[in-house]
Structure formats: structure tokens, C-alpha cells
Amino acid sequence: MLSLKLPQLLQVHQVPRVFWEDGIMSGYRRPTSSALDCVLSSFQMTNETVNIWTHFLPTWYFLWRLLALAGGPGFRAEPYHWPLLVFLLPACLYPFASCCAHTFSSMSPRARHICYFLDYGALSLYSLGCAFPYAAYSMPASWLHGRLHQFFVPAAALNSFLCTGLSCYSRTAMVTGLFLPPPSFLELESPGLSKVLRTGAFAYPFLFDNLPLFYRLGLCWGRGHGCGQEALSTSHGYHLFCALLTGFLFASHLPERLAPGRFDYIGHSHQLFHICAVLGTHFQLEAVLADMGSRRAWLATQEPALGLAGTVATLVLAAAGNLLIIAAFTATLLRAPSTCPLLQGGPLEGGTQAKQQ
């Protein structure tokens, strides 16, 4: 009979520093796990198991929503719907990329960094994907055909490059220069600055994408339902609230920072971060559908439908550009000697302060 032995779990002091997570003291997988070990570990309780499943299952949910909408009668034939479909493509991609990153990040220190490079790239494409339906369905009336409306999607594409580049830089860039030895890496030398840069890399595209909603919210503040086409659905509010929680959890590392070791397997901030992010995307989709329905007749008199070719071409070019950025950082990582701190790294003094992802 075929039997598979589940991978052994380790304590924080038993793994290299690069694998440490703030406040997580146990449940670590072997840092040289095989791909099979990584897959098997998703079926045992480790400190990554809930991270894996909280993005693996939503991948199928968003894929189901994409196929259900695309398979509707006449949906794909109507140009008005195309920005929504293009938005759902990266909405399916980013949870899948995160699931893979958390699954295979224990294969080696280099594999860990590369996995998260790809994760960051998928999140950057998602930030671009949000711009398509916002430009098509959610723009304030006074912004239609204005400069910001015309350059909204191209600017979001540039923001995706900034997001990927800055987040990868915060992880592995050398303090003395991106390509100059000796390797003195930002994440090890200045972990606080590294965290600030990575948080800002994702906060800025979010703020930019949601400018139309913030403007409409300001116009309708205190006016109840008397603001016509600028009114926001309750789903918009839920989406913004989930986004706020997501950012707070990512930056704070609560509750595990207050009680190290108590939330190693269930309840730590990254798990809650995943759940809030997925809920935010769900409410964002519902909000976009609400804008599509309530504003369709009005938008038909204001602007022509967006073309599918240009929409998809923008997404494809942005994906190619982000892959080039990831390839550049990967090449830098591969050139670094295996003895550099970023790829080895021993425990810190006292063994109690774990690094922040």
C-alpha cells in the first residue's frame, strides 16, 4: 500500500532567518522541501496551511463568477461588459499566485523570494484590472472625457510597474546599489524601511484606482440618496472597509505580535489579511455590477463603449512589463552568492524577533 509521510515541522530557531515571520514561533516547514513535500504540507496543519487554502478556494469562486458572467446570453457580444470580464482575469490570478507562493516558498531561500516576486506581480496586475471597470462604469460625471479619465488606465498600468518594482526592491535590493557587490540587502539592513516601501507599493495603486469612488463619496456625503448618478452602493462601502482592514492587518501583524506563538496555526494576521482581501474583491465585484446596472442608460448617452482589443492589449503589455521587472530582480538574486545573508541568514540574537514578510 502506498503511504506518504507528511513533512516534519520545525520551530523558528530551526530555520534560516529569511523564513521567519513576525510572532510565528512554530509550524515551519523544512526550508529545503521538495515540491511534493510542499504540496503535501497543504494537507497538514502548518503555519502556512490556512494561507494556502484562503486563496486556493477563492480562486475557484472568482473563476466560477467569470465563467458564469461570460456564459450569459449575449454577455460577451456586448462591448459594455468587456471591462468587467478583463477585471475578473487578474481577480482570478492574484489569489492563485498567492496560493502557489505560500505553497512552494519553502523549497529554498531563492525559491521563496521568486515565489513572492510572482505574487507581487499578480497583485500589481490586479490593481491594473480594477482600473478598467472603474474607468468604464464608475467615473464621476464631471470627469468623463477629461484628462484623468483619458489617462486613467495608462496611469494604472504604469502604477503596476511601480508596484512590482518597489515591492521586489524592498525584498532583495542591495543597499549599496542594485547590481553592486557586496550584498547588503535592504530587508536585512533596514527591515522597517523595507516594510514601509512594500506597504506603500500596494497602498498607492489602491488609492489611485479608487479616486473616482472617493470623489463620488465626497459629493454624496450628507446628501443621502439625492446625488443621482454619483450615488454609491453599499457594496462600495463594504469593499472600502475590507480594504482598510487588509492594509491594517498587513502593516500591524496583529494579533500574533502581541502574543508570539499563540496564533501560529490559526488566527494570525496574514490569514486574516487573505480573508479580508478576498471579501474586498467580492464586494468590489458586486459594486462594479451595481454601477454597471444603475448607470448603463446614463453612460450610453455620455461616452462610447471601450474596445476589447485595446483593453486586452493594455493588460497583456502590462503583464509582459511586470514579468520583465520580475526577471530582472530574479537575475540579481541568482547572481548573489549562496553565502549572502539574504539566502542563508542565521537566527538573530535571542531567537525571538522574527522577520516580517
> One digit per residue, pLDDT tens: the chain, 357 residues?
345 677 789 999 999 888 999 999 999 999 999 999 999 999 999 999 999 999 999 999 999 999 999 888 777 778 888 899 999 999 999 999 999 999 999 999 899 999 999 999 999 999 999 999 999 999 998 898 888 998 999 999 999 999 999 999 888 765 444 444 444 567 767 778 888 899 999 999 999 999 999 999 988 875 655 677 788 999 999 999 999 999 999 999 999 999 999 999 999 999 999 999 999 999 999 999 999 999 988 888 776 655 555 677 889 999 999 999 999 999 988 887 776 766 764 443 333 344 444
How many folded domains does the chain comprise?
1
User: Please, is 180 exposed, middle or buried when counting C-beta atoms within 10 Å of its C-beta (0-12, 13-18, 19+)?
Assistant: exposed
Q: Is residue 23 domain-resident?
A: no
Count of beta carbons in the 10 Å neighbourhood of residue 186: 18
Check residue 228 and give its pLDDT.
73
Instruction: Give first-to-last CA distance, the chain, whole Å.
Output: 40
Sign, CA dihedral 77-82-86-89, equals negative
Residue the block writes with cell 482581501: 277
Check residue 311 and give its pLDDT.
76
List the one residue out of 140, 141, 118, 134 whose CA is nearest residue 327. Answer: 118
- Sequence-distant (6+) residues with CB within 8 A of 334 are 110
Does residue 342 sit in helix, strand or coil?
A: coil
Q: Is residue 14 domain-resident?
A: no
Q: Is residue 350 domain-resident?
A: no
Strand partners, 29: 9
| Residue 158 vs residues 56, 153, 317: alpha-carbon distances, Å | 28, 9, 11
Check residue 225 and give its pLDDT.
55
Check residue 107 and give its pLDDT.
95
User: Please, is 323 exposed, middle or buried when counting C-beta atoms within 10 Å of its C-beta (0-12, 13-18, 19+)?
Assistant: middle
List the one residue out of 113, 126, 108 whose CA is nearest residue 163. Answer: 126
Check residue 350 and give its pLDDT.
37
Helix boundaries (H) for the chain: 35-41, 49-70, 82-104, 109-137, 147-172, 186-189, 191-209, 211-220, 234-252, 269-300, 308-335
Count of beta carbons in the 10 Å neighbourhood of residue 74: 7
**Residue 305 structural domain:** 30-335
CATH number at residue 269: 1.20.1070
| Residue 225 vs residues 160, 210, 220, 298: alpha-carbon distances, Å | 35, 21, 8, 17
Q: Is residue 348 domain-resident?
A: no
Residue 330 identity: T
Sign, CA dihedral 295-296-297-302, equals positive
Check residue 17 and give its pLDDT.
84
Strand partners, 185: 174
Q: Is residue 169 domain-resident?
A: yes
Check residue 176 and give its pLDDT.
43
Check residue 2 and give its pLDDT.
46
Q: 115 with 99: CB under 8 angstroms?
A: no
Check residue 352 and give its pLDDT.
39
Instruction: Report the alpha-carbon distance of residue 344 to residue 125 in Å, rounded.
Output: 31
